[in-house]
Structure 1
Amino acid sequence: MNISDVLNILKKERYKLTRRRERMLEIFVEENRYLSAKDILKLIVKDYPYLSVDTIYRNIKLFEELNIIESTELKGNKHYRFKNSDEHHHYIICADCGATKNINMCPMDVISNTPEGFTITHHKFEVYGYCDGCRV
């Protein structure tokens, strides 16, 4: 998925294609890591100095509903990243800056015993650590 795919999704779902929304998406793509709403605000404020954090949260909620971004929790706060594809994937995530690396296997492949009376519908697997840039 790329920005023009997302803009088409917004158009199809009859949401306005605002320049602010497009800029938020550009930030997600440029940064290529998990970002908090406050991180996004810091990066967008030079283009839109009067944009409120509430506007950021409203757009994040919309992007999540449309399956455009995915989320995780870092440092006790929700962080978001652009969803590059609908492919099944797992990440190693830097607990400091939010950078990600794909894990090229699925841990569900080694789980053979699903508890009786339980059906697995989906899963999420994340490993946290520090990237070379953040490790001191």
Structure 2
Amino acid sequence: MELNEAIQKLKREGYKMTAKRKDMLRFFAEADGYRSAKNLLNYLEPAYSGISFDTVYRNLHLFDEIGVLETTQLNGEKHFRITCTQHHHHHFICKDCGKTKEIDVCPMNEVRQKLGNYAIEDHKFEIYGLCPVCQEA
């Protein structure tokens, strides 16, 4: 999902698009991977003096709830990235820097066969490790 798509989705859902929300979404749209709420807060503080962690988390929760951000857990902390909508895929996620690499393999065909009479509603498949840059560091 690109920045403009995320903004339009927020508006379609009936939410006001403020400059702060646009800057939050821009931060994730320009990032190459998952970022934490603290990363976002540090990014916003120079432009929005006194912005609270509550404000950041409230908006992150909203963005996740309406589907413009997706989440994962890294080192016990929730991280966020702009939702990918181009095609179905999964991710390798670097545990140090949060960078992601798309994986076009999906195990769901095999899983569906093994769970024949179960109603699968959704899935998430992620692989965690270290990217080449973080391995060298």
Q: TM-score, normalised by structure 1?
A: 0.90
CA RMSD of aligned residues (A): 1.7
Distance 2:104 2:111 in 1: 16
Aligned to 1:87: 87
Question: Is the 1:68–1:83 Cα contact (8 Å) retained in structure 2?
Answer: yes
Q: Where does residue 35 of structure 1 map in the other structure?
A: 35
Tell me, in whole angstroms, the C-alpha distance in 2 between the residues paired with 1:57 and 1:102. Answer: 26
- Do the aligned residues in 1 keep the contact of 2:33 with 2:81 (CA within 8 Å)? yes
Identify the residue that residue 67 of structure 2 maps to in structure 1.
Answer: 67
- Given that 2:88 and 2:104 are in contact with CA atoms closer than 8 Å, whether structure 1 keeps it comes out as no
| CA–CA distance in structure 2, aligned partners of residues 125 and 44 of structure 1 | 31
Alignment check: 8 A CA contact 2:93 2:126 kept: yes
Name the CA shift for 1:58/1:49 in 2 (closer, same or farther; >3 Å): same
Structure 2: distance between partners of 1:112 and 1:15: 37
Contact 2:35–2:81, Cα closer than 8 Å, also in 1: yes
Provide the residue aligned with 1:105 in structure 2.
105
Q: Runs of at least 4 residues of structure 1 off by over 4 A?
A: none
Alignment TM-score, normalising by the size of structure 2 = 0.89
Relative to structure 1, the CA distance from residue 21 to residue 28 in structure 2 (aligned partners, 3 Å threshold; closer, same or farther) is same
3-state SS, counterpart of residue 134 of structure 2 = coil
Please identify which structure carries the higher helix content: 2
Kindly, what percent of the aligned residue pairs are identical? 42
Q: How many residues in Structure 1 have an aligned counterpart in Structure 2? A: 136
Q: Mark the runs of 5 or more structure 2 residues left unpaired by the alignment.
A: none
**Superposition deviation, residue 74 in structure 1:** 0.2
Instruction: Quote the Cα distance in structure 1 between the aligned partners of 2:61 and 2:8.
Output: 18
